[in-house]
Structures are given as C-alpha cells and as structure tokens.
A and B are shown apart, each in its own frame.
Chain A
C-alpha cells in the first residue's frame, strides 16, 4: 500500500514508489530519492518536523512538506 513519506514513523524502512509533481521534483531526485530506492526514517526534529532519513550512504533531512511529495511503500521485515 502506498503512503506518503511524511506519514512514516521513525525506525521504519520503506521503498520510494514515485514522486508527486512539483517544482522540487528534480531536486529531490538529484538527492537520490528515485523510484525503487530503499530508505529508513531515522528520527524527527523536536516538533516532528523536519525528519531525517538514511538514504543508504548518507543522512538527509527534509521538511514534512518535502516528505509529503514522496510516495513510498512499506517494506516488511
């Protein structure tokens, strides 16, 4: 089932399904957020925003606004 990355709780690993259309789409893709990419939500900032994700090589932080542009699929362990 597809969910937005902004709804994923820390500790969960997901796979990127696709990105919603927006002016930020190429920027997000350039950072490595492309379909099929596995990532793990690491932690959230004190007010729940921004969040930090492990993109398999580095940690990226992004606001919930940006995370809300990313459709992901939860990976069952």
Chain B
C-alpha cells in the first residue's frame, strides 16, 4: 500500500510524519523534477513496513511553484508510480475552511483518505468546536481522526486507522464533480475555487460552532506589535543575527578546533606509525585529512540549523520574511532569500539547500547564484593568514584597528557584491512566473524539539553525504596530483635538494620538510602551477601561490596548509607564525618581495570572489538539476575574482 501525506503548510504535517515514521526517513527523488521526495517507513503492529511519502505542504493541488508541481504531477496521473492508494490529509482544525479545500480536491479524485484534524486544542481555545459526526456525514467514506501532534495525542488512533484501513470497502461520494484541470486553465481553476468554497462553507457551517472571531490572534498580535515594528522589529532581527553569529563562530569554534586538532594529530601519528608506502600515504595524507575537512564543518552546520529550525518552528521566520521582503525585492530577491544568504556565512551548501522554500524559480535561482559570494567560514583561515601577513597592526581614525577593518571590509565586499550581482542578474533571467508573496504568518508557538532534532540530523546527513563525498574525492584527487609527477622531474628535484649544502646542515625534521616541498614543486600540481604563472602574474602571484590556489579547490582553507608545504615550513596549526615569517622574506627573481600589501590584498579579493569550492558546485548542480548554472557561476565568479584582484593589485602597487 502506497501512502501519501498531504495538506496545507503550518498544519503540523511534519510533526505527524515524524511521529509516524520516527527516524526511519530517507530522501529520494521524484523522477524528473527538482524536488526531493521524503519517504518514511511506517511500521505496523504486525511488523509490516508501509512507505509514506511526505509531499510538500500546499494549499491546493494546483501548484504555485516548481516545487509544488510534484503534488500535481503525482495526483493527476493514476499510473504514476507514486500515485497513492491512501491519502492522509493533515488539516489544521482551527482553520477548517481553508484546509478542507485541498482535502475535498483529494477526496473528489476518489482517493481513499484519512482526514487528520490536527491541533484541535488550538481550535477549542479559539472558540471553535468541530462536530465530527456532522463532518463525517459529508464524507461518509473518509476516516476522520483528531490529533494533537505537538504532544503526540491521537497518533496511536491514527496508526490504528492506517493499519485497519480496508481499501476494498471504499466507496466514494464526491462533494463536487471534479477532474483535475490543466495547470494553465486559470479561468476554470477560479471557477472551481468559487464552487468549492461555497460547498465548504455549508459543510463548515454545519460542522462547527464558533464564538466570536476577533479574539483569535490576541497573543500573536501583541508579539507582532514588537516583532514587525519598523524600528524594534529590525532591532530584534539584529539581535537574532548576533546570537546566530555567536553560535556559529564562537560556540562552534570549540568543537571545530578539537576536530581539527585531533585529525591533524591523528594524521601525523598515522604517518609515523604506518609502514612507508603509497597506500599508507594515501590514508594518512589523502583520506584522513579529507574526512577531517568534512567533519570540521559539522558543528557549525548543526548549530546553524538548530537555531534556524527553532526560529521556523516558533513562527518567527515568517516574520523575518515579512519585514525583509520589501528590502530584498529591488535586488531581484525575496524575503525568503534572507535565511539562505545568512546560512551561507557559515557555509554556502546548507544555504543553497535552504532556498527550496522560495516559490519563484527566478528568485530562487538568483539566491543560489549569489549565496557563495557571502564569505563562508572556510575563507576565515585564508583571510586571517593574509591579514596578519600584509596588513600592519595599527590604529586608524584614532580608534579603529586596521586589521579588523580589513576583515570587515572583506565580508562587506562579499555581501555588497552578492546584492549587486543579484540586481544585475534580475535582468538576465527570463521567467514566465510572476513573483508574488502569499505567506501565512502562523501563530507563535513553542518549538517541538523532536522536529528540531530531526531537521538538524537531516541537514547534517545531507551535508556529509552530498558535500562530503565531493570534498573527500577532490582531496584524494589533489593528493594524487601533488604526490605524483613526471618521474624524472620528481627524482631530480629531490636529488637536487638532497645535494644542497643547506640540506646537509639541517635537522632531520627540516630535511623532511625540504623533501616534501621539492616533491610538491615537481609534482603534477607543481607543474600545473608553473604553467598558469603567466596568467596569474598580472594579479601579483607567483607559481607557488598558483599551486596553493589549485589545491584549495577541495576547500578554501587548504590554501594555508598548502603554502606551508610548498615553503617547507612546519605547519603548527594555530598561529602560523613560522609561516608568516617565512612568507615575509620570500623574494621574486628580481629581488622584490612576493607578499606585499598589493599582492596580499589581491589574494584576499580573489578569495572573496572565486568559486574555490567543488562541493558548492556539486550542490548547485543538484539543486538546479544541470551543470549549466554551476558552470556559469564558476565563470562569472572567476572573472570577478580575476578582475577584482587585478584592480586591487595594480592600484596598490
């Protein structure tokens, strides 16, 4: 038996899904569409497993956005392999009228169904009492179950109802004679809506008794006086942002340092204790650091989504959309772009995944396109190294720390560029869809921790499996390219170093570093770095920087480690002091310094813009279902990086 879970957004549908399936959920694909298929296993008391598909929450079977298409696609075609045998429709009991709209549509398609009246406690508080018997009279073949999914009430009854549902006994009556209309038949859809609401009004009249209307939103509207206030509203949002940044930078730093430290200790321990050989090098220098490079981001992503899903569950996120929409619109964005852009400050990957709530494809695409321009946390190690290297630690304008100012400037440059490019992109992306905002502002409620937990778990899982495998694969590939090289060149390079006077006078540790450096310089990546030198010379880089640019394609922060290797400086992790001292003394052939204010700033600007992240590209590909957009994105960001770096370099030198 195939079961579909359908209903309006904000009805507690996901709570019902989580309660029915627990952690037994997985994400699949509907064939040919961009939206994920959330499937959960429901275990009956007899031990049978029934699959429940959690469809996106919609107000009608007719889609309003590309993502909602999936509901229409599946239900309009009986031979679709996901066409349900049984539909569970979750309805908000406090708002029966609007919720019965999609229910009657499904009912009129003669799909056997269970109507779940959720949050009946809220309905009671709002002075609405639903007479189940009266409702049942109108839908004699539908099983009606009352639940309160927030506290888990009525779920056992729902489970029983699903188990005992006898599809064979199903006889259908209809509220109106109905066939799903074509998506573009707007005129008849309007007519259908009119007739349907007339019928529903009669049903609701019979089945509910209500007191007065206006007291409904007293609690929410008091809070809204503050939270959408022209001044207090933005101040509160600012406070929320500060807490968010505190979480992802300060709190997450502790576990991140721990992970980073343990992985580099583990990797060097492995290097020492494993026998020599390529295979063991692959493990200790390729795979282990690669896995570390994925896991290190988990604390940030988990904390970020913990906080965002708290805001979402409480109902506040809809208010953020409400107060930000007008500001984002001239930029070709939507109020709903705010959260994805914010998330991208931790990491663009969850940010891009969070764009799915944006109903307009154009606005969603623009948001995806500019999200990687927000300075993510992988850029921080690069920024801090370069700032410490070339920006003097002095005070300007009497009280501003110049190094801090530059760091702030880099973040601002990313943000401003993202907004500017969105504005430009607006004119280039054609769309038939009209942008609109029809957003329910749900009443405030305390979050359900189970839902928050499952969201965090899901997001981390997706990050590990989607982004992680790319980061790991690229790390291994780059390790290969940095380890192997034209055989003669490698051998000669190492021999040359070993014969040098400096080598003979060095400590064993320094000798190891010198050999590692010689190997990297003569590896494929080394050659590649030298090959691109003519291209990067105009922006102030030599081939050694070129090598580090290439290796940081796995993840930007690899840049720092890669510079340490190439200059054969021991990478002591935290302070980078030996590396900075070495870099300061690095000279070109003509005796001028390599790392000047000009080339340093040029590099920082390069890192603000360049799409130095294969994992992001893979996620963009997944979300847009083609390589077209990630490639355009890489090219545009690459051009910006090069031009920006060129301007920075020439104007500063």
Interface residues of A (CB under 8 A from B): 19, 23-32, 34-35, 38, 40, 42-43, 45-50, 52, 54-63, 65-66
Inter-subunit contact A60/B440 (CB<8 Å): yes
Bound-state CA distance A43–B229 (Å) is: 9
Q: A27 touches which one: B64, B216, B439, B443 (CB < 8 A)?
A: B64
Q: A34 touches which one: B95, B194, B220, B439 (CB < 8 A)?
A: B194
CB of B52 within 8 A of chain A? no
Q: A46 touches which one: B97, B192, B326 (CB < 8 A)?
A: B326
Given A29-B190, A29-B193, A30-B59, decide whether A63 and B437 contact each other with a Cβ distance below 8 A: yes
B57 to chain A, nearest CB (A): 13
Inter-subunit contact B440/A54 (CB<8 Å): no
Q: B193 touches which one: A30, A42, A61, A63 (CB < 8 A)?
A: A30
Residues from chain A with a CB closer than 8 A to the CB of B234 are: 46
Most buried by B among A35, A45, A55, A66: A45
Inter-subunit contact A61/B217 (CB<8 Å): no
Inter-subunit contact B437/A62 (CB<8 Å): yes
A18 to chain B, nearest CB (A): 10
Bound-state CA distance A62–B321 (Å) is: 11
CB of B603 within 8 A of chain A? no
Q: Mark B214-234, 1 if CB is under 8 A from A, else 0.
A: 101100110011001110011
Interchain residue pairs A-B with the least CB separation, the first 5: A29-B193, A26-B189, A57-B95, A46-B230, A30-B60
Interface members, chain B 427-442 (any A CB < 8 Å) = 434, 436-442
Bound-state CA distance A55–B59 (Å) is: 14
Bound-state CA distance A58–B94 (Å) is: 8
CB nearest to A46 among chain B residues: B230
Inter-subunit contact A61/B434 (CB<8 Å): no
Q: B326 touches which one: A19, A25, A50 (CB < 8 A)?
A: A50
Residues from chain A with a CB closer than 8 A to the CB of B230 are: 46
Residues from chain A with a CB closer than 8 A to the CB of B190 are: 19, 25-26, 29
B30 to chain A, nearest CB (A): 22
Given A46-B230, A50-B326, A61-B322, decide whether A25 and B186 contact each other with a Cβ distance below 8 A: yes
Residues from chain A with a CB closer than 8 A to the CB of B169 are: none
Inter-subunit contact A24/B436 (CB<8 Å): yes
Bound-state CA distance A30–B193 (Å) is: 6
Residues from chain A with a CB closer than 8 A to the CB of B194 are: 29, 34-35
CB nearest to A42 among chain B residues: B221
Inter-subunit contact A28/B326 (CB<8 Å): no
Bound-state CA distance A11–B430 (Å) is: 39
Given A29-B197, A42-B217, decide whether A62 and B438 contact each other with a Cβ distance below 8 A: yes
Q: List 20 A-B contacts (CB under 8 A).
A: A26-B62, A26-B190, A26-B193, A27-B62, A29-B197, A30-B60, A32-B97, A45-B323, A46-B229, A46-B230, A46-B233, A46-B323, A50-B439, A52-B224, A56-B97, A58-B92, A58-B441, A59-B217, A59-B440, A65-B436
A21 to chain B, nearest CB (A): 9
Bound-state CA distance A6–B202 (Å) is: 30
Inter-subunit contact A23/B434 (CB<8 Å): yes
Q: B441 touches which one: A46, A57, A60 (CB < 8 A)?
A: A60
Residues from chain A with a CB closer than 8 A to the CB of B214 are: 40, 54
Inter-subunit contact B438/A49 (CB<8 Å): no
Inter-subunit contact B322/A45 (CB<8 Å): yes
Residues from chain A with a CB closer than 8 A to the CB of B110 are: none
Residues from chain A with a CB closer than 8 A to the CB of B225 are: 43
Bound-state CA distance A56–B97 (Å) is: 10
Q: A58 touches which one: B95, B197, B221, B233 (CB < 8 A)?
A: B95
Inter-subunit contact B186/A26 (CB<8 Å): yes
CB nearest to A34 among chain B residues: B197
